[in-house]
Chains A and B, each alone.
Chain A
């Protein structure tokens, strides 16, 4: 039974690679559930987000790099998840893993980044 599961898992990986290639060929900017992210090959998925985003979204990269998160090495995936679970707007429970006290106290009609601008994270806007 275990062997079967393994086989299926392997299948997931190969299909993921294959479909990434075909999809990429037939359709340029395909979307993930998070919005628009180009399909990635298996190898590309093993690259840190920032590596591409340095060039793809240089302003965002720079804002992050110079922010307290950039200096303290809180990397992209800590808030946005990795490719499969990518979220353009992070789940606020992710913020709460570190900033739980602030999260509990926040005004309920606001998102964290309404006051602490995304990627720059000043103390207050």
Chain B
């Protein structure tokens, strides 16, 4: 092992050259592994999906050299997918394309030039102040991310709300899990899942609908797979999806319905549960009521029964099409109701629907009807796509209508409570929620928003119908700041690009799907002049206070002044948020201090009001007396479950009467196909990170359109042919994959690709759920035609134009 790094590089050079011509060289290959030998290993959380896998970063001479799983972690038990194994390649100076200096241009048609941080922060403050003075407080906006640390989202929204007096605080979780939030609040009275990943090992039936878990949450899927393979006969897996995906491989029953008929299917399962008396009478009596309509009118069981009567399996099988038969619906309902512990799992297939909240409600209905909640293995569990959508945005106050710790903006009492806790004058936070995401970018289009700060996300690619919104972002009268680690489709439209530190280059908390907060402490230096966001916001706020001559803005960051930005500053922010803001709330995190989080291999599940409780890992299952400290505290009677959620004054679970509702845009003679989109295992989101890791890029260098073999035959399309996918909004030209994945009449496209021709959000539709405001990415109408035979293609990633 006495090989120097230089020697090592030279040997690699020689070996690579030799490999081209098939010459074997005499060096022993042992030495190649040496790059992975690390001086030290540092605990942290994976950056690349919502699973929250815990891992250790290997550091050698200040450089990130390897990642490995932490076996004691309760999220991943040591396993990692390929993304989790490789993202060290993006850290520090490992990647040449990292943004390293603030870049500025006054006009968007000019080239960027490097400027100093002083200049950059002055410009950002001046532009926001100018907009506020001239056009009012609601002419400025923040658009954040479920990938930002909780400390970052918290301080951004604090400065926007308390400082700049606007609720224009949004983020990409609106595109991702807003419908799940709506579902949890309206059905259970409290956001976020009741149970935990521990239910994967306790469930005897899995109902996976609208989720390709195998690719989107691979390490969680491993746990489900293990459960199934170790109990092949007793554990049942139902997979309901218009597309056969790698997840379907472990399914006993695959329900392939036509896109947009899911609500009917779920109601038909309820029909069978009622007809065959598979519901849990006691559970219903003790814990549930029935409600309908906008007014949330309470109705009786008879009314609900009459409503469900419409959804006979025979009729619904016809509505659903695909492979659905009445018998399959009955089978699914029986397994669901009768198993010792049924766990439903879903993601974007349910959430990204015109009626996503309703679809969520209908899944919860099945669990309430059958009492499949709070018991071991029984759970209605929405998986989250991003590592900190739950912790940072849902809990930290990162959407236009919510304040930190599950407080609604429009509730005067809660709003004033926040103002008091922040020590700012009452009335400082406006009572009206701000723009939700689509409305925000619509306002950008109309020039109503004059300055917008986009942090750690790329709406230019990730918004549905993105060409429409890119027009607005290109406007010269809209000043755009973008904070990120790499150039993206969105930095292309910015005036000011601020380089930020990546995970492990700064300190902070991520909260994953199962209410678990996990800390990552800085282990390597950020490249160049890249800075942690918390420092950027603090410094910006101080300048804003001067520009606007408003001491309250300074007041918002006062507790954080003088703190060193790599650890002390985020810690102070976390302390304020947890000790003050979450105190007494359902996501009470007072026990989860940095000190406690650093002691644990993984982290803490809220509610965790005390350190003692937090050190045990927190609350595994909410609402159960003896397991959840808040269930004991709020107990109103002797029942074992206490649904104390803040949104239901009656402390009951609500079963909703929700009718079938199709998508906004149905296929017709002009656009005869359904278009749906999704992910693949090797890439994540807009691939700004995964696309820059050679191994991942090569594994999936470009997006395909998946076409059912029957449709392909009719249209004369062969594998690899170039196919145009066009909608009323835009078009793509992609290579075809002929595959019994999507059902007949439907095509499916991966959404990560940055090449203009293969960026599918130019084609998708921006209709949204009227309740959750989450767009219907998953369904629109399109037409397809072959444009040519196979063509050589190049992978593409945005780069900085010099």
A residues near B (Cβ < 8 Å) are 16, 19-20, 23, 27, 30-34, 39, 43, 45-46, 48, 68, 71-75, 77-78, 81-85, 87, 91, 93, 96-101
**18 contacting pairs across A/B (C-beta < 8 A):** A32-B19, A32-B22, A33-B18, A68-B226, A71-B214, A72-B225, A75-B82, A75-B699, A77-B698, A82-B699, A84-B19, A93-B33, A97-B66, A97-B69, A98-B79, A99-B78, A100-B69, A101-B78
Chain B, residues 688-715, CB within 8 Å of chain A (1/0): the string is 0000001100111110000000000000
In the complex, what residues of A have CB within 8 A of residue B734's CB? none
Q: State the CA gap A101–B29 with chains docked (Å).
A: 25
Contacts A71-B214, A74-B82, A84-B19 known; list 4 others, CB within 8 Å: A30-B21, A33-B29, A39-B20, A77-B82
Please report the C-alpha to C-alpha distance between residue A78 and residue B24 in the assembled complex, in whole angstroms. Answer: 24
Is B741 part of the binding interface, using a Cβ–Cβ cutoff of 8 Å? no
What chain B residues lie within 8 Å of A77 (beta carbons)? 82, 695, 698-699
Q: Is the CB of B795 within 8 A of A82?
A: no
A interface SS class: helix
CB-CB < 8 A to A68: which residues of B? 222, 225-226, 229
Closest residue of chain B to A70 (Cβ to Cβ) is: B249
In the complex the two chains form, is A19's CB within 8 Å of B21's CB? Answer: yes
A-B pairs, top 8 by smallest CB distance, nearest first, are: A30-B22, A101-B71, A32-B19, A31-B22, A46-B701, A98-B79, A97-B68, A33-B19
B695 & A82 in contact (Cβ 8 Å cutoff):
yes
Residue ID in chain A nearest B85 by CB atoms? A97
- What CA separation (Å) do A3 and B246 show in the bound complex? 43
Interface residues of B (CB under 8 A from A): 15-16, 18-22, 24-25, 29, 32-33, 36, 66-71, 78-82, 85, 214-215, 218, 221-222, 225-226, 229, 246, 249-250, 681-682, 694-695, 698-702, 792-793, 795
- On whether A96 and B68 interact (CB within 8 A), knowing A33-B19, A46-B701, A82-B694, the answer reads yes
* Cα–Cα distance between A101 and B71 once the two chains are bound (Å): 6
Shortest distance between the CB of B112 and any CB in chain A (Å): 15
Chain B interface main SS type: helix
* A20-B36 Cα distance, complex, nearest whole Å: 30
Residues of the B chain whose Cβ atoms lie less than 8 Å from the Cβ of A46: 698, 701-702, 793, 795
Could you tell me the distance in whole angstroms from the C-beta of A2 to the nearest C-beta in chain B?
8
Q: Which residues of B contact A43 (CB under 8 A)?
A: 792-793
* B71–A100 touching, CB < 8 Å: yes
Taking CB atoms, residues of chain A closer than 8 Å to B249 are 71
Q: Which listed residue, A23, A27, A93, touches B36 by the CB 8 Å rule?
A: A93
Residue of chain B at shortest CB distance from A27: B22
The complex places the Cα of A97 from the Cα of B57 at a distance, in Å, of 11
Task: From known contacts A46-B698, A72-B218, A93-B33, infer whether A78 and B82 are also in contact, taking CB-CB under 8 Å.
Answer: yes
In the bound complex, CA of A101 to CA of B85 (Å): 16
A33 and B25 contacting across the interface, CB-CB below 8 Å: yes
Report the bound CA distance from A93 to B250 in whole Å: 29
Q: Are A98 and B795 in contact (CB under 8 A)?
A: no
Nearest CB of chain B from residue A17's CB, rounded to whole Å: 11
A36 nearest CB across to chain B (Å):
9
* Whole-angstrom CA separation of A77 from B222 in the bound complex: 18
Question: In the complex, which residues of chain B have a beta carbon less than 8 angstroms from the beta carbon of A71?
Answer: 214, 225, 229, 246, 249-250
Which residues on B sit within 8 Å (CB–CB) of A85? Answer: 32
Tell me if B20 and A19 are in contact (CB < 8 A). Answer: yes
C-alpha spacing A10/B716, complex, angstroms: 37
Asked if B20 and A98 sit within 8 Å, CB to CB, the answer is: no
In whole angstroms, how far apart are the Cα atoms of A77 and B694 in the complex? 11
Min CB distance, B382 to chain A, in Å? 21
Given known A33-B25, A72-B218, A73-B246, contact A91–B698 (CB-CB < 8 A): no
B792 touches A33 (CB 8 A): no
Shortest distance from the beta carbon of B735 to any chain A beta carbon, whole Å: 11
- What are the residues of chain B within 8 A of A96 when measuring CB–CB? 68
- Residue of A39, A48, A97 with highest tally of chain B CB at under 10 A: A97
Q: Among B32, B67, B222, which residue has its beta carbon within 8 angstroms of that of A91?
A: B32
Choose from A20, A74, A100 the contact partner of B20 (Cβ within 8 Å).
A20
Residue on A with the closest CB to B18?
Answer: A33
A89's nearest neighbour on chain B, judged by CB, is: B29
A33-B15, A77-B695, A100-B69 known; A72 vs B22 contact (CB < 8 Å): no
Query: Is A84 within 8 A of B68, CB to CB?
Result: no
